[in-house]
Amino acid sequence: MSENKEKSAWSAKNPYMSKITECYVLNGEGSRKETRHVVFDLGDSGLDYKVGDALGVLSENPEETVNLLIETAGWDESQIVSTRSGEVTLREALKKDFEIHRVNKKFVNSLSEKVTSSGMRITVKLIESYREPVAGSGPNWMGGDAPLQSELLPSIPGDDPVGRVDTLASDPKAMEDYIWSRDYIDVLRDFDVNYSAEEFLELADKLKPRLYSIASSHDAHPGFVELTVGIVRYSHHGRDRGGLCTVYLADEVEVNETDVGVFMSPTKSFVLPADTSTDIIMVGPGTGIAPFRAFMEQRIYDGGSGKNWLFFGDQSEKTEFYYKESIESWLDEGHLYEFTTAWSRDQAEKIYVQHRLKEHGARIWEWFERGAYFYICGDKTYMAKDVHRALIDIAKEHGGMSDEDATYFIEKTMMKEEKRYLRDVY
């Protein structure tokens, strides 16, 4: 097999084990956020990438969550179980192969079996304490002349375990609210239920890789791949918790020590214009700046004449001005034609990137008319939708279009036909 063919075999199932060489916080002191610049060494992997691609990262569960789960469930950590990694100890399986940091719906739904059967166990115990078991009949509450269940069990109040499980199973909103802040340890404690390790592994989700937009150009950083990662941290029910991969990168991985599995996730669509004289507008608030750092590095490396306009924003200029030095030097050297910021919390009213886009609407429209590409990266749920709406408003106001025509221009002409409105949102 040729070397190249072998090298392209790295994948989610067969990741390259890379070392992280840098993992520093980009925020200034006093920030509410923790966003890190993370650099992976591609070593002799032969892995290559282009700007716009994403990196897949495989992570592990926190040691303390694994320990507490084993302790709460009363399992034997050295028990051998069968997983996608083969025959491994239960401890290893819980560390590397399953998502144990958030409970899934399948597990909560399985409680109905457990809670009913533990109700049965309570009944049996009550009966046994009522009367001596009949020889040969076993602890069967229906056997002999045992009292009826209704005589033994208190009536079921609305919040008893059976009622709660029924509510969770039948009310999707209650289910979402319940699982949002809980992991398996919370649920085992809440319902006082027992699961064997095999039952648990059958229900838990397999650990999935996370994708990150690449924040570097390979031409500018040969042999390395760099990311901008927003660390997800929160606290619920008296315990600090967080996102699986981001907390792993921030807290558990040791720089130049730990092996971290990675693979490339190439994009076909989120690419720079082939013609380097084409102008581009990039909108990347928060971690959305990642691919645009890469785009800038590549455009500088390629040396084309196309202009670059970057919209960036986050909470505060003092604490979230990521890559400030690079941005200022791109501006000084004329590589960045224009840089527009939206610091949302530096004044009483919120200022977001879409407000800045609309303020500059006339010039954005001119750029569109001259064939500029428009890129957006970052939050999918709110920001990307609001920016999309702002583009339609700009087409109406500055292109003199009706709402219908403006929507057609943005969504069909620019996005689908000309493929110059491109998104990397998550």
Ligand X SMILES: NC(=O)c1ccc[n+]([C@@H]2O[C@H](COP(=O)([O-])OP(=O)(O)OC[C@H]3O[C@@H](n4cnc5c(N)ncnc54)[C@H](OP(=O)(O)O)[C@@H]3O)[C@@H](O)[C@H]2O)c1
Ligand Y SMILES: Cc1cc2nc3c(=O)[nH]c(=O)nc-3n(C[C@H](O)[C@H](O)[C@H](O)COP(=O)(O)OP(=O)(O)OC[C@H]3O[C@@H](n4cnc5c(N)ncnc54)[C@H](O)[C@@H]3O)c2cc1C
- Say whether residue 287 binds ligand X (CB under 6 A): yes
> In the set 353, 376, 390, 422, which binds ligand X (CB under 6 A)?
353
Using CB under 6 A, which of the segments 267-275, 321-329, 332-340, 378-386 binds ligand X?
378-386
> In the set 91, 210, 420, 423, which binds ligand Y (CB under 6 A)?
210
Question: What Å distances lie between residue 128 and 75, 116, 141, 335, 341, CA to CA?
Answer: 28, 19, 9, 83, 73
Shortest Å distance, C-beta 186 to ligand Y: 12
Bridge-based pairing state of the strands 308-314 and 338-343? parallel
**Which of helix, strand or coil describes residue 176?**
helix
- Say whether residue 229 binds ligand Y (CB under 6 A): yes
**Which of helix, strand or coil describes residue 258?**
coil
**Residue 346: both structure tokens together:** 């530096």
Contact 13, 206 (CB under 8 A): no
For helices 105-130 and 184-191, angle between their N-to-C axes, nearest 10 degrees: 20
> In the set 252, 386, 405, 411, which binds ligand X (CB under 6 A)?
386
d(CA 244, CA 254): 16
d(CA 233, CA 101): 12
d(CA 390, CA 377): 15
Q: Which residues contact 21 (CB under 8 A, 6 or more apart)?
A: 39, 40, 41, 224, 255, 256
Shortest Å distance, C-beta 292 to ligand X: 13
Q: Which residues within the stretch 227-246 sit at the binding site for ligand X (CB under 6 A)?
A: 230, 232, 243
Q: Which residues within the stretch 27-66 sit at the binding site for ligand X (CB under 6 A)?
A: 33
Site size for ligand X, by CB under 6 A? 23
Contact map string, positions 26 to 65, toward ligand Y, x by CB under 6 A: ----------------------------x-----------
Q: Which residues within the stretch 236-265 sit at the binding site for ligand Y (CB under 6 A)?
A: 243-246
What residue ranges in 58-193 does DSSP mark as E strands?
80-83, 86-89
- Say whether residue 286 binds ligand X (CB under 6 A): yes
Shortest Å distance, C-beta 145 to ligand X: 59
> In the set 88, 203, 211, 401, which binds ligand Y (CB under 6 A)?
211
Interaction site with ligand X (CB under 6 A): 33, 230, 232, 243, 285-287, 313-315, 344-345, 350, 352-354, 378-379, 381-383, 386, 426
Interaction site with ligand Y (CB under 6 A): 54, 101, 180-181, 210-213, 227-230, 232, 234, 243-246, 287, 290, 424, 426
